[in-house]
Structure 1
Amino acid sequence: MAEKNIQILDQQGMLQNYAKAVLGMLPLPGAKAEGLPDRTLRIADVKIDANNLAEYVKVCRLRLRDTLPITYPFVLSFPAVMNLLVSKDFPLPAMGMVHMSNKIEQIRPISVSETLTIDVHAENMREHRSGLLVDLVTEITIEGELVWRQFSTFLRKQRTSLSDEPRPEKVDDSPGSAGELPTTTLKVTGKQIAKYADVSGDHNPIHVSKIGAKAFGFPTVIAHGMWTCAAALGILEGRLPDATTYTVDFGKPVLLPAKVAVFTRKTDSGWELALRHPKKEHAHLTAKIEAR
């Protein structure tokens, strides 16, 4: 994809982007394009902020090491992702989009001392029975070497030509579906998720404001999907291969405060994970970790 824009974003820019996201909910004629923008946003010369990394591993209950947690580059790329989502040439409004799934490919571990180049673009907008899906793709290179890539799939709920199709039957065979005991449990508080919002820069109202959450149909604030994505890995730290693919499907949101049950299962190719409600047993997250 041809590069058409290079931009470095700061924290103030992030706050402005959320204001743009709210404005994008309004029906302004001609404010949105029809197709995906044919451009890549780049953040160049990214150095790891040791204090931010330390706060991240603390709030996600991970260990501080000399290499980055596999999920941490999401935080580094988030300003570019938001910038793309709120741009006028992005066809879907950012607010109200649902993070459906996430796939991270770690080609090799990233050292905390390395300088990164982060590229973000959108691709593959397609219909779903519940709306439109689009992939936000992030690639991280170091001196031209691809070391990390992510596909974040978002859903914009609306009617499509597939909306009247029958709902496919889902079979849940992920860890915990057969009534086995959890490997461990996690307590999640509003204070903890507010801290994650500060660390990650993701101050979406559904995560930090009860009023904002109710405006989008939630009874209270919910945990970030990428917090659960990171925290779920805590139990497997030290047992993951350097070259790893981490695929996550998000289920029902975690309403705060909460206790979630964590289930793990060893497979021939790696691990399977699930985060579930301890009583209702529905899945908040199901995941696979496989060696590349």
Structure 2
Amino acid sequence: MPEMAVETKTWSGGGGASTLLKAALPSLPVVGQLPGVKKASPKGFEGLAFTRPTVTVERAHVDAYARVCGFPTKDVVPLPYPHMLAFPLHMAIMTDPAFPAPAIGTVHLENSITGHRPIRVGEALDVSARVGAPLPHPKGTIFEFVTEVHAGGELVWESTSTYLRRGRGDENASGGSVFPDADPTGIVWKLPADLGRTYAGVSGDANPIHLYPLTAKALGFDRQIAHGMWTMARCVAALENRLPGAVKVDVAFKKPVFLPGSVAFGCRVLDDGFAFSLSNPRNGAPHLAGRTWAL
């Protein structure tokens, strides 16, 4: 993504109920049209960026994340972990009055992570996130959130999170990434009903669609669904001991994973990495497709 000449704001903390309220209000009938709540038009939006004060990677938080996602305890963080440090910045962008789409109802389509080297527990990191102008998609409009993590001036980790706002689309636009097949290997993970609440506790992502049947139904789901970034992390954890220290991992999120439920893990060796997948073990419906590259 090209560099953008936009104002960079500093996230100074906060979150929880106040952030969730700011995320939800623009999606509510009538309330979402009020001054100070109504989102700006996407026309003319060129971008927005946030940074946060230097943050030190804490052992307790890393270990809690590793337990929820299936990683072993190590002195370096799991590959997807820095997303935890960037998520408050993503929410700060989405709830900023200048950002033209409500956070609630915006769908996480794809995620790409590049780890340039392992990040050690205890390292001091500088984290920034930015988003550019909206891009066309067959089913609406997409926004690409780019995160960079530096340690002592060195770029050690980066990611692109692609979010979709459904609406009038462009049938000529790209529909997203294509991944090699990875058939199920016979491994099936049973996911508990409280997985979304547990992951929300370590990630800060308390979107109601992940928490309880009642809160999920209010937003159009039969019951709560797993976080997309948990499904990505669980797949990476299954491959963790076979991935190099410098690696890129891309995923596309397909059909939601309802909780409680089960998912079948698939994996296939490629010349330069692995293809992997998650699917419904009963009917084969795809939940996630991904692949890795050694750098």
In structure 2, distance between residues paired with 1:71 and 1:166: 29
Letter in 2 for 1:32: K
**Tell me, what secondary structure is at the counterpart of 1:44?**
coil
1:6 aligns with 2:10: yes
Residues 183, 264 of structure 1: 8 Å contact kept: no
Residues 36, 122 of structure 1: 8 Å contact kept: no
Equivalent residues in 2 for 1:121-140, closer than 5 Å: 121-140=130-149
1:32 to 32, 36, 39: 39
Equivalent residues in 2 for 1:187-206, closer than 5 Å: 187-206=190-209
1:33-73 CA distance string (max 9 Å, x none) = 33435442111210112212111111111111111111111
Q: Provide structure 1 residue ranges, at least 5 long, that are not aligned to the other structure.
A: none
In structure 2, distance between residues paired with 1:37 and 1:212: 33
Aligned to 1:150: 159
1:282 aligns with 2:285: yes
Aligned to 2:73: 64
- State the shift of 1:171 in Å: 8.4
Aligned to 1:21: 23
In structure 2, distance between residues paired with 1:171 and 1:122: 23
2:110 to 101, 118, 142: 101
Aligned to 1:175: 182
**Tell me, what secondary structure is at the counterpart of 1:24?**
helix
In structure 1, distance between residues paired with 2:272 and 2:96: 40
- State the shift of 1:16 in Å: 1.1
**Tell me, what secondary structure is at the counterpart of 2:88?**
helix
**Tell me, what secondary structure is at the counterpart of 1:84?**
helix
Aligned to 1:246: 249
Aligned to 1:220: 223
Structure 1 pair 39/134, CA: closer, same or farther in 2 (3 Å)? closer
Report the TM-score when normalising by structure 2. Answer: 0.90
In structure 2, distance between residues paired with 1:268 and 1:124: 36
Structure 1 pair 145/276, CA: closer, same or farther in 2 (3 Å)? same
1:209-267 CA distance string (max 9 Å, x none) = 22221122211000000000001122212110111110000010101111111011000
- State the shift of 1:167 in Å: 11
Q: How many residues align?
A: 283
In structure 2, distance between residues paired with 1:84 and 1:14: 15
**Tell me, what secondary structure is at the counterpart of 1:83?**
helix
In structure 2, distance between residues paired with 1:273 and 1:8: 37
Question: Identical aligned pairs, as a percentage?
Answer: 36
In structure 2, distance between residues paired with 1:167 and 1:112: 39
Residues 22, 95 of structure 1: 8 Å contact kept: yes
Q: Provide structure 2 residue ranges, at least 5 long, that are not aligned to the other structure.
A: none
2:119 to 86, 103, 110: 110
Residues 125, 132 of structure 1: 8 Å contact kept: yes
Letter in 2 for 1:211: L
In structure 1, distance between residues paired with 2:283 and 2:35: 44
Structure 1 pair 189/69, CA: closer, same or farther in 2 (3 Å)? same
Report the TM-score when normalising by structure 1. Answer: 0.91
**Tell me, what secondary structure is at the counterpart of 2:231?**
helix
Structure 1 pair 189/90, CA: closer, same or farther in 2 (3 Å)? same
